[in-house]
Chains A and B, each alone.
Chain A
Amino acid sequence: EIVMTQSPAALSVSLGERATLSCRASQSVSSNLAWYLQKPGQAPRLLIYGASTRAAGTPARFSGSGSGTDFTLTISSLQSEDFAVYYCQQYDHWPPLTFGGGTKVEIK
């Protein structure tokens, strides 16, 4: 089973600032990585797939990069609606699908 590790667990960022979230896989997952955003009391929402392809409706301020074992989600200028928990998920070696533990982006 591939273990996904996200860092940091929590990130305090001011409105308009840049946020950088990391996700590491225990072995290579090629570019088969997705990012999701989850707000309190809501279902997750797909942001990025294929490590860097924005899903329909994902604003351009979200960008994904990386391949192999190390991945990054960057939010170029944080808006109020971006404060949430972000999860990465690999789909290169499944079953099982595996998710990272999440990064909570909080207002500074």
Chain B
Amino acid sequence: AQKVTQAQTEISVVEKEDVTLDCVYETRDTTYYLFWYKQPPSGELVFLIRRNSFDEQNEISGRYSWNFQKSTSSFNFTITASQVVDSAVYFCALSEAGNSGGYQKVTFGTGTKLQVIP
């Protein structure tokens, strides 16, 4: 079973529409972190946000907002009033203590490609 599931492979929206990217994760640990990264066409992944397992407060940063719900093991990402520059692949990732010495182990989802049409 996948540890991080991004069921939406590709999404297309028209500019100014709102869009939500889904992320469902699986872990037995009580302490973990969740991340979102953006990969523009240039290829480099850019860190957007992290959330720890004890903080379910939603966060808003400009047009971006994140909804973390432990009850459903979800960490969804919403872009309000989307813009063409938001077109990219977005990855959700889970950070846990690995089996080898407790070092950080990060598992990425398969990504959601977002296309914003002008």
A binds B: no
Binding site for B on A (CB under 8 A): none
Binding site for A on B (CB under 8 A): none
